[in-house]
């Protein structure tokens, strides 16, 4: 009888994939009671008005399936925001789609446009879902490094990577993990480079409202030549401090949106109804996202001031809620070993940038997240002062 009870062997699609560094470091932080500045999520609550708006939607009975593309009021609110901030009008009916977070939006975009054998350029260091998404679509990953330490795009290397088989390029600004923000000149350079090609752009803009020092976010939506070929991804979770809600959106020209939705409908089909209604009501005021740059800049400045006299060399943090530091004057350990030592011996968790490179490139840089309560940041700074 036992011979009938058998789980067949499975050939993994990801033979080299192990546990992510985020899981490893968070587990170690918990074990050592360390201040966790590793994973990128807030440890503070969202605006109570937002949860009240969701609760009110539930009470009204708005708990059944919404339209596949997202509820009309939320798509209209997104289109209005993009037009007000970036000057481009997207049709909420045919060009805005509500997604189950930005990660689902990115894999759906990849599956919609990438066919087996297509080449897709990723700029390293990059968010950890990009490469597996491309591989699941049967695409070939073409890794192009950003300039080490400055993390700016190297257009000579991007141009050299373009071939007749290039289907898309994935860009991310403001950039995780480095905090670098692309300039207007860099976006124009990308627009000019791609103009004679049929290459699509997947523009990961989840930190769009976290750009500091008075600089505007240079969305692909601002540039007609890019907008016409781009699937733009953003995240309500990042903007409104509700990362666990997993709600985002995509803006793209109608033909691209139509292909995106073909995959979306068989991927998640629809997204949490009461949260969509709550977000739509909350977006009636632009104040929360307009105030976000100042909110996070203050936290960045608090954290940077606390590290200013340490042996950790601060790299620029132009956007996002991440601060990278050069560890060369503190330790001879690799980035990964330093992060384990820092968590175990100093009591602060960070993430090695080598985890964001396919070949584990180590440039002696680690990443902290400052999307934390002030008391959390101060506790971390008190421990880091020992370095």
Parallel/antiparallel/unpaired status of strands 200-204 and 230-235: parallel
Angstrom CA distances, 385 to 81, 305, 337, 338, 370, stand at: 42, 12, 19, 16, 16
CB burial of 115-126 (b: ≥16 within 10 Å; e: otherwise) equals eeebbbbbbbbb
pTM: 0.96
Question: Which of helix, strand or coil describes residue 363?
Answer: coil
- pLDDT, residue 1, reads 54
Question: Which of helix, strand or coil describes residue 350?
Answer: coil
In Å, the largest CA–CA distance within the chain is 71
The domain made up of 2-46+290-384 is a member of CATH 3.90.1150.10: yes
- pLDDT, residue 16, reads 83
Count, residues in the chain: 387
H or E element at residue 50: helix 48-59
User: Where in the chain are the domains?
Assistant: 2-46+290-384, 48-287
Read off φ and ψ for residue 240, nearest 5 degrees.
-110, 15
CB burial of 97-110 (b: ≥16 within 10 Å; e: otherwise) equals bbbbbbbbbbbbbb
Parallel/antiparallel/unpaired status of strands 96-99 and 248-251: antiparallel
Options 3.30.720.210, 1.10.8.100, 3.40.640.10, 3.40.30.10; CATH of 48-287: 3.40.640.10
Q: What share of the chain is helix, strand, coil (3-state, %, to 5)?
A: 40, 15, 45
pLDDT, tens digit only, all 387 positions of the chain = 577 898 999 999 888 887 777 888 888 888 989 999 998 889 999 999 999 999 999 999 999 999 999 999 999 999 999 999 999 999 999 999 999 999 999 999 999 999 999 999 999 999 999 999 999 999 999 999 999 999 999 999 999 999 999 999 999 999 999 999 999 999 999 999 999 999 999 999 999 999 999 999 999 999 999 999 999 999 999 999 999 999 999 999 999 999 999 999 999 999 999 999 999 999 999 999 999 999 999 999 999 999 998 999 999 999 999 999 999 999 999 999 999 999 999 999 999 999 999 999 999 999 999 999 999 999 999 999 988
Q: In 137-174, which ranges are continuous DSSP H helix?
A: 155-161
Question: Which of helix, strand or coil describes residue 251?
Answer: strand
Rg of the Cα atoms in the chain: 21
CB burial of 19-50 (b: ≥16 within 10 Å; e: otherwise) equals eebeebbbebbeebebbbbbbbebeeebeeeb
């Amino acid at each position: 009888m036992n011979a009938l009870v058998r789980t067949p062997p499975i050939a993994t699609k990801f033979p080299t994939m192990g546990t992510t560094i985020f899981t490893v470091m968070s587990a170690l932080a918990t074990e050592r009671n360390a201040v966790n500045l590793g994973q990128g999520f807030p440890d503070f609550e969202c605006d109570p008005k937002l949860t009240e708006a969701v609760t009110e939607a539930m009470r009204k009975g708005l708990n059944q399936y919404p339209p596949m593309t997202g509820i009309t009021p939320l798509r209209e609110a997104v289109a209005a925001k993009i037009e007000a901030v970036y000057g481009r009008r997207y049709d909420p009916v045919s060009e805005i789609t509500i997604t189950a977070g930005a990660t689902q939006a990115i894999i759906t975009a990849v599956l919609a446009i990438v066919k087996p054998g297509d080449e897709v350029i990723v700029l390293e260091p990059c968010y950890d879902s990009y490469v597996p998404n491309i591989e699941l679509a049967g695409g070939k990953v073409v890794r192009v490094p950003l300039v080490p330490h400055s993390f700016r795009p190297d257009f000579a290397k991007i141009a050299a990577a373009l071939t007749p088989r290039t289907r898309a390029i994935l860009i991310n600004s403001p950039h995780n993990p480095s905090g670098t923000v692309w300039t207007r000149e860099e976006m124009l350079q990308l627009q000019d480079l791609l103009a004679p090609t049929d290459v699509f752009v997947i523009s990961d803009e989840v930190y769009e409202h976290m750009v500091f020092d008075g600089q505007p976010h240079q969305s692909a939506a601002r540039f007609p030549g890019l907008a016409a070929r781009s699937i733009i991804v953003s995240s309500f979770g990042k903007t409104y401090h509700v990362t666990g809600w997993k709600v985002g959106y995509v803006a793209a020209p109608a033909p691209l949106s139509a292909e995106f939705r073909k995959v979306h409908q068989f991927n998640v089909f629809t997204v949490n109804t009461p949260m969509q209604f709550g977000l739509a009501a909350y977006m009636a005021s632009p104040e929360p996202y307009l105030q976000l740059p100042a909110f996070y800049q203050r936290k960045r400045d608090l954290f940077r001031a606390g590290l200013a006299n340490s042996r950790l060399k601060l790299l620029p943090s132009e956007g996002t809620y991440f601060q990278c530091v050069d560890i060369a004057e503190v330790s001879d350990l690799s980035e990964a070993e330093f992060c384990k030592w820092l968590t175990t011996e100093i009591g602060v968790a960070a993430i090695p940038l080598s985890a964001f490179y396919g070949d584990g490139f180590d440039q002696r840089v680690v990443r902290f997240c400052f999307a934390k309560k002030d008391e959390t940041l101060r506790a971390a700074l008190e421990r880091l002062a020992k370095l």
